[in-house]
Amino acid sequence: MGNQIPTPDFETYSLDPPLVAAAVDNGVVSVKWADGREARFHHMWLRDNCACEHCIDGNSRERVNSILLIPDDVHPNSVAVSAAGGLEVNWAEPVGNCRRSHFHPGWLRAFDYSNGARPTEEWEIETWGQELEQNLPIFTADGVFDDDEVRYDFLTTLRRLGLAIVTGMPKDYAAFERISAQIGLLRDMNWGKIFEIFPKPEGEYVAHRGFALDAHTDAATREYIPGIQIFQCVENTSTGGESFWVDGFHIAKIMRQQYPQEFELLSTVPWEQASRSTGTHYRWTAPVFDLNHRGQITAVRDTTWLREPLRADFDTVPKLFNAYRLYASLKAERRNQVERKLVEGDVAFVDNRRAMHGRRAFDPASGRRHIRTCYGEREELLSAIRMIERRRAARMFGG
């Protein structure tokens, strides 16, 4: 069985193995599971995470008590293992109407931080170059729509690689909205939620021309870059016009390992990018490579033709140009590109903060190339994955 003991979330945890021992030990609560694993929890941490009806709203699973209500010297009068195998804590002082907490053994195990700091949610990242072309992740539309396991494989592949292709989609607008919804909510941009790309002389953007486009991420001019971009091939009968993708994380890895000084420049010195039209003007300043607090790359910000004139320290300008030209040459190398000529029914999903997309030149007079595109967000992708995992756990543990 699963959550017979309340938890401060909507997830389902296993009651096996149960706790077999609990004690107050030098200012912390020590517990032991039936399989021998042990853990320790600070009193404040346990008090802050009580999931009783007085501390957690039953509908939203959100805290209802201020942390300032917890005494500085919060401590239990007693602790014990409950009949269900959980941890019971009787507190010396109440917080609001709560005097007692009951912790699920599976939840405690999932959030144990005493056996090494518990990292925030992480997932496997697999970088790639041209070799992925021989094993391109391709899924059928029917499978993604009709089979939860296929959909899970599709979503986690997109999370891992930053690229996945769905085939067999009707080319109409409604079908595109339906397949895009597999990621979640779409992001509205100044040109709307869905954008049509085909040659038109009066078009505002370079995508409306027939010439080649270097590998790039979209909307680097925005403070918050769209996380996912989706491309539907409506028609592609022109000569040329092959799509290609470059793993920006792979390029960053090459530069970090082989060209550390250039990598340092591209990850620390900001370069302004701007997008102007007759009715809008967007700009943002940031380095090409975005790193998190651990130094891991989390995004590539580079809409190549939207770079503003570089404004940096005088002596830094030539160094940054050299670094950027090196980066541009690496992403232009065929060994770092995955190419596919999209055909009617193809829908390409890419992580827009990682998998840069480009296009070979095509002849508009030789046929028609019509691509439909929109943006989603990484957090919507991650939410969709977690919801499938939640359903799996509920089936497995009987929540």
Pinpoint the alpha helices (H) of the chain.
Answer: 43-48, 105-110, 141-146, 148-161, 173-180, 248-258, 260-268, 316-332, 378-397
pLDDT at 201: 66
List where CATH 3.30.2020.30 sits in the chain.
19-118
Cα–Cα dist 355/178, whole Å: 23
Q: What is the pLDDT of residues 25-77, one digit of tens each?
A: 988 999 999 999 999 999 999 999 999 999 999 999 999 999 999 999 999 99
- Tokens representing residue 368 in the block: 């028609």
Does residue 276 surpass a pLDDT of 90?
A: no
Tokens 């550390």 label which residue? 260
Separation in Å, CA 107 to CA 46, 85, 104, 112 = 12, 12, 5, 8
- Select from 3.20.10.10, 3.90.470.20, 3.40.50.720, 3.30.2020.30 the CATH code of 19-118: 3.30.2020.30
Nearest 5°: the CA angle 51, 53, 56 is 50
pLDDT at 204: 60
Q: Is 346 left (phi over 0), alpha (psi -120 to 50) or beta?
A: beta
CATH code for the structural domain at 130-386: 3.60.130.10
In 186-314, DSSP assigns E strands to 194-197, 213-216, 228-236, 239-240, 243-247, 271-276, 281-286, 289-291, 297-300
Q: Count of CB atoms within 10 A of residue 219's CB? A: 21
List where CATH 3.60.130.10 sits in the chain.
130-386
Predicted TM-score (pTM) of the model is 0.89
Q: What is the pLDDT of residues 158-208, one digit of tens each?
A: 999 999 999 999 999 899 998 888 888 888 888 788 999 888 766 566 667
pLDDT at 203: 57
